Structures are given as structure tokens and as C-alpha cells.
Chain A
Amino acid sequence: KAGVTQTPRYLIKTRGQQVTLSCSPISGHRSVSWYQQTPGQGLQFLFEYFSETQRNKGNFPGRFSGRQFSNSRSEMNVSTLELGDSALYLCASSPNRGQVNEQFFGPGTRLTVL
């Protein structure tokens, strides 16, 4: 099975711009979660989607939004970029069946805001 893919892998934007990141989960996985990873804060949960519905949301401002499509692919959008949004954005998919809800992470999108 192909792993989780994320596009683009690298992105450079300037303050005030907006950005859309894409994630394709492992085939058959219906749960997709997004995380922001920075050296000082570790992995911070953004949101989780399951069957096109946002099931959980972290403590991020409304500038961060997402959606999931019927094929389970997910996108994350950040509007009005700030310098502090520079980070590695990781997407993870999960089969979300049974007791073990292991997450499979993609390689991430490294966003730099200038």
C-alpha cells in the first residue's frame, strides 16, 4: 500500500498570504489528522476529519481550517499567514477500526513564512 502523501513538500510564503496544503491518506483510511510541529512546541494537534466531518479540533485560531473530500483526501488552509506559522505541517491517517488507532504520518509540508 502506498503511504500517506503530502503536497507540496516545501513552501515559502510571505506574511498576509494564504496557503493550502494537501494530504492523501492511505487507501481505506477514513480518519485524517493534521499537526503542526515546531522545535519549541513539539507536535500540536490542529484537527481531525472522519468521513468528511471535523470530529475534533485543537486550540488554533480560526485562520486555520480544513476539509475532507469524499475520497478521504484532506486539505488544510491557513489564511493571513504570520511569521509564527512557519513550521512542519504533518498529516496522519488512521484506519480507525478496532482498538488500535495507530496513526500513519506523511513526510510533512515545511512552510516558511517570510
Chain B
Amino acid sequence: GQQVMQIPQYQHVQEGEDFTTYCNSSTTLSNIQWYKQRPGGHPVFLIQLVKSGEVKKQKRLTFQFGEAKKNSSLHITATQTTDVGTYFCAGNSGGYQKVTFGIGTKLQVIP
């Protein structure tokens, strides 16, 4: 079955440093979504990427979808304490809602 690998699992950064998490799928994806889960909370949708090579920005967050539609990354510039949480990628390789989540990257920001 489809597998989505996500690295790193944990990342500690000093406030102001950049942060990147990577996802790699074993199969070609139709789209990939990114979610953020704050400690004690539930996952909240950030963005969906559909097109090969797509790049989308949300303020300090940059999302990329690889040319082969098998990998993706989320980059945060100049992290802030409000960025703390676990970031998940979720790959969709079929129709409908058959989504496979990565293990998540837990980000800690040291003030």
C-alpha cells in the first residue's frame, strides 16, 4: 500500500531560525495536503498542492510539490513561538478521500 515518509520526526530550533520538513511518497500522488496540530489540539488544514512543481506561500510558510508528485516540503522562515506544533503531510493517491498521513514533524521553538 501507499506509504508516506516524513522527516525529521522532531526538530528544535532557536526562534528566528528556519525550519523545513520533508515528505516522500512511495507512489505518485494526485495531491498532497499539509496540516498543523498544536499541542493538545486537533489537525488544522494549512494547504493543498495539486500541480507538479507547484510552490505556494502563506506568509512565512512555503510549500512545494515535487515535479514527480512524489515528494513535498514545508519551509518556515524565521520561526516564531507560535509555530510550535506538529506538522503533517497527507498524500492522496486515489480518488475520494483515501489519505495517508506522514508520521509528522514535531517542531519546538526555543525563545
Contact = CB atoms under 8 A, between A and B. Distances in A.
Contacts, number: 67
A104 interface: yes
B42 A45 contact: no
Instruction: Give the interface residue-count category, chain B.
Output: 20 to 34
A17 interface: no
5 nearest A-B pairs in the assembled complex, by CB-CB distance: A43-B101, A105-B42, A42-B103, A56-B98, A102-B45
B88 interface: yes
Max count, chain A CB within 10 A of own CB: residue among B41, B94, B96: B96
Contacts of B43: 43, 90, 92, 103, 105
B48 interface: yes
Contacts of A43: 43, 88, 90, 101, 104
A25 interface: no
Interface string B10-43: 0000000000000000000001010100000111
B100 interface: yes
A48 to B, nearest CB: 5
Nearest to A32: B97
Contact of A101 (B44, B48, B100, B103): B48
A42 B101 contact: yes
Interface of A: 31, 33, 35, 41-45, 48, 50, 55-56, 59, 90, 92, 94, 96, 99-108
B111 interface: no
Contacts of A48: 96-98
8 contacts: A45-B100, A55-B96, A100-B48, A101-B97, A103-B97, A104-B45, A105-B43, A105-B44
